[in-house]
Amino acid sequence: MESQIPRKPRILCLHGFRTSAEILKRQVLRWPAAVLDKLDLIFLDAPYPAQGKSGVERFFDPPYYEWFQATEDFTEYTNFEECLAFIEDNMMKSGPFDGFLGFSQGALLSAALPGMQRDGLALTRVPRIKFLIIISGAKFGGPKFAHHKLTSNAYSSPLECPSLHIIGETDFMKQESISLLEYFVDPFVINHPKGHTIPELDEKSTEVMLGFIERIQKTMATADEQIYLNAET
């Protein structure tokens, strides 16, 4: 058992508001091969075409999508439950998945999923989420984003789901991203000097990322062994 090569974590990647799977893929694939070779990344387009102007029009071609909609003050949400069902359906078709990578709106959503799954409010037909990679994240129920009824208890107890948080020094979501850290047990953190974007990874950031991958492979191995033992009994 000791000599077995750890399997690659299979990760469902959720893009930002009014962007796309292709845009996120192009940005993430700039990461070093030392990182990418250890991950099995699946990029998913959100279910709803963009209902307004995209902030990335100058940099990336359409189409653009959004996971759900919100009022201007982020106190009410539309199509949130439908979005969760869409994600779960895709996980059943293309899974199983071990964890999520989310950016911006995709990160806001991803960060709440372990708590909702724990409470039986989302992703009830798929395996437990084993880890998260959160880029420019935030929490429902924080200063900027009000709770949806399904997220109201998502952070009621510390989340032991291993997590890596990538935070930009000039990101307008920086404080939201920092506040999110306190709800996760022993989070890994990568700080970068840029804004609201998926940064390239320098040598130090790559080292942190590889350390996180090593940790989640151990988490996955433990979970896989438990599944095997359960199947034997």
Residue 34 has pLDDT above 60, yes or no: yes
Residue 3 has pLDDT above 50, yes or no: no
Residue 230 has pLDDT above 60, yes or no: no
pLDDT of residue 229: 57
201 vs 220 pLDDT, higher one: 201
pLDDT of residue 227: 58
First-to-last C-alpha distance (Å) of the chain:
20
**Overall average pLDDT of the 4-12 stretch:** 87
In the chain, % of residues over pLDDT 90:
88
pTM equals: 0.93
Residue 129 has pLDDT above 50, yes or no: yes
Amino acid identity, residue 159?
A: L
Q: What is the average pLDDT score of the chain?
A: 93
Residue 2 has pLDDT above 90, yes or no: no
pLDDT of residue 222: 75
- DSSP letters for the chain: -TTSPPPPPEEEEE--TTB-HHHHHHHHTTS-HHHHTT-EEEEE--SEE-SS--TTTTTSPSP-EES-EE-TTSS-EESHHHHHHHHHHHHHHH----EEEEETHHHHHHHHHHHHHHTTSS-TTSPPP-EEEEES---BTSSSBPPPTTTTTTTSS-B-S-EEEEEETT-TTHHHHHHHHTTBSS-EEEEESS-SS-PPP-HHHHHHHHHHHHHHHHHHHHHHHHHHHHHH-
**Overall average pLDDT of the 126-145 stretch:** 96
pLDDT of residue 1: 43
- Please give the structure tokens belonging to residue 188: 């890994």
| pLDDT level of residue 233 (50, 70, 90 thresholds) | low
**Domain range list for the chain:** 10-232
| pLDDT level of residue 79 (50, 70, 90 thresholds) | very high
Rounded Cα distance, 61 and 64, in Å: 8
Residue 200 has pLDDT above 90, yes or no: yes
CATH superfamily of 10-232: Alpha/Beta hydrolase fold, catalytic domain (3.40.50.1820)
Q: Max alpha carbon distance in the chain (Å)?
A: 57
Residue 22 has pLDDT above 50, yes or no: yes
Residue 145 has pLDDT above 60, yes or no: yes
Of 2-6, 23-27, 221-225, highest mean pLDDT: 23-27
Total Cβ atoms within 10 A of residue 77: 21
Rounded Cα distance, 179 and 198, in Å: 19
pLDDT of residue 67: 98
- Dump pLDDT digits (tens) for 146-177: 999 999 999 999 999 999 999 999 999 999 99
